[in-house]
Amino acid sequence: MVKKRFIIHVDMDAFFAAIEQRDNPAWRGQPVVVGADPKGGRGRGVVSAASYEARKFGIHSALPISIAYRKCPKAIFRPVDMAKYSQVSRQLHGILYNFTPEIEPVSIDEAFLDISGSYQLFGTPRQTCVLIKKRIKEEIDLIASVGLAPVKMVAKIASDFGKPDGLVEVTKEKLFDFLWPLEISKLWGVGVKTRQSLNEMGIWTVGQLAKKDVKALKKIFGANGEHLWSLANGIDERDVETETGAKSISNETTFGKDTADQDEIDSSLMWLCEKVSGRLRQAGLKGRTITLKIRVTGFQTYTRAITVPEPTNFVDVLYQQIQKLYKNFKVRKKVRLVGVKVSNFDLAGFQSDLFQQPTDQKREKIHRAVDAIKKKFGEESVHRGRVVK
């Protein structure tokens, strides 16, 4: 059974300006602009942040400070105090780590959180979001907007939708209802030129892009065309990447032609298990959760995962579990892509050789010998019998 993903994007509202208003209560409700000295409209820097009251005058980040002054000369202009803002940012992240260790700081005032394995401690995923907002308000007296979704991109869009002081939840069942009516520019990676090209093709919304022939998009945009099509269809498998290192190690391969040839698929799965197994040992890691990724004709993508009792980086264990996942999946279409991922890590050296079974010690030696051969003669120098390349 595949665990549901619950990704949160936390985005602080007008962070720099909000801190200034917090520290100077008389400025609350007033237009506050943080940035270069406007020098009576002759300043040459730019705006770093603007309160929501200042934004009503058309002031926004990166706007020349001279123009900001002309738009609202009565605004409160403050210099950037990065030492203070960084201290508040550290307090913010300290709060977030109370809810999950799976945190990816994006910038000083925003972060992604994966609460898939921790939300039960706080109730539902939505209740977790409510508590996060509450803790931020109580502990640092600031307002955050929060987006909750099954994938990172949609969580980010959702947090923007609710500003200021928002909480927008997009469930897996309502993903397309939320995503498809949006303007195409809301997708990650759609800049001005890409948007113009898509508009020329008659594509104005995310839904129109999702229903476009992916082959036609690839002809025009190359690999990015398929990537944008995937995002438009809610396919965003990027993990929340923690500061402490990789959350998972994976490899995948795309077949030259969609295939139903079981020997070709099995050989590719073994090859991928070898690649992942070697990378795990190189990183000094063993994992408990083994995930199979399958993309079939039509670009539908599925994942199936299993968690084993003991952490492993042995290729035969990975392949055994991957085969089991594949057979239980009962593929009914030709296969376009397969992938293997290992996560839920332990350090490989955590368990001393003293406590390993003799068979495990022997397998460890064999794996190390194979690694040494590959290191000396190249990756293609030795493969297990199952692999046919």
The whole-number pLDDT of residue 359 equals 54
Q: Which residue has the tokens 């290191």?
A: 375
Asked whether residue 238 is domain-assigned, the answer is no
**Same domain? 26 vs 158:** yes
In whole angstroms, give the CA distance from residue 276 to residue 42. Answer: 58
Under 8 Å between Cβ of 279 and 245: no
The whole-number pLDDT of residue 351 equals 41
Q: How large is the angle between the packed helices 192-200 and 214-221, nearest 10 degrees?
A: 130
Under 8 Å between Cβ of 248 and 312: no
**Domain encompassing residue 121:** 1-173
The residues near 194 (Cβ < 8 Å, ≥ 6 apart) are 221, 224, 228
Asked whether residue 367 is domain-assigned, the answer is yes
Strands across the sheet with 47-50, in order? 47-50, 32-35, 76-78
Asked whether residue 111 is domain-assigned, the answer is yes
Asked whether residue 265 is domain-assigned, the answer is yes
Tell me the Cα Rg of the chain.
25
**Same domain? 107 vs 254:** no
Q: Which residue has the tokens 């303007």?
A: 183
**Same domain? 190 vs 116:** no
**Same domain? 189 vs 162:** no
Question: Is residue 120 packed enough to be buried (19+ CB in 10 Å), middle (13-18) or exposed (0-12)?
Answer: exposed
**Same domain? 163 vs 185:** no
The residues near 62 (Cβ < 8 Å, ≥ 6 apart) are 46, 47
Instruction: From first to last of the 389 residues of the chain, give the pLDDT tens digit.
Output: 446 899 999 999 999 999 999 999 999 999 999 999 999 989 988 999 999 999 999 999 889 999 999 999 999 999 999 989 989 999 998 899 889 888 888 888 999 999 998 999 999 999 999 999 999 999 999 999 999 999 999 999 999 998 999 999 999 999 999 999 999 999 988 888 889 999 999 999 999 999 999 888 988 888 888 889 999 999 887 888 775 556 778 888 888 788 999 988 998 999 999 989 988 887 778 888 999 999 988 878 888 989 888 889 999 999 999 999 999 887 789 999 899 999 887 644 434 343 344 455 555 655 655 555 544 444 444 445 544 33
Asked whether residue 387 is domain-assigned, the answer is no
- The domain that contains 278 carries what CATH number? 3.30.1490.100
- The domain that contains 152 carries what CATH number? 3.30.70.270
**Same domain? 264 vs 212:** no
The residues near 357 (Cβ < 8 Å, ≥ 6 apart) are none
State whether residue 259 is helix, strand or coil: strand
User: pTM score, two decimals?
Assistant: 0.65
The whole-number pLDDT of residue 369 equals 58
The whole-number pLDDT of residue 379 equals 46
Looking at residue 264, what DSSP letter applies? H
List residues with catalytic annotation: 110
* C-alpha 355, offset from chain centre: 37
Identify the sign of the CA torsion 223, 228, 234, 240: positive
The whole-number pLDDT of residue 344 equals 81
State whether residue 252 is helix, strand or coil: strand
**Same domain? 31 vs 162:** yes
In whole angstroms, give the CA distance from residue 126 to residue 130. Answer: 6
**Same domain? 67 vs 168:** yes
Asked whether residue 344 is domain-assigned, the answer is yes
Asked whether residue 243 is domain-assigned, the answer is no
The whole-number pLDDT of residue 240 equals 85
Asked whether residue 82 is domain-assigned, the answer is yes
Q: For the chain, what is the domain count?
A: 3
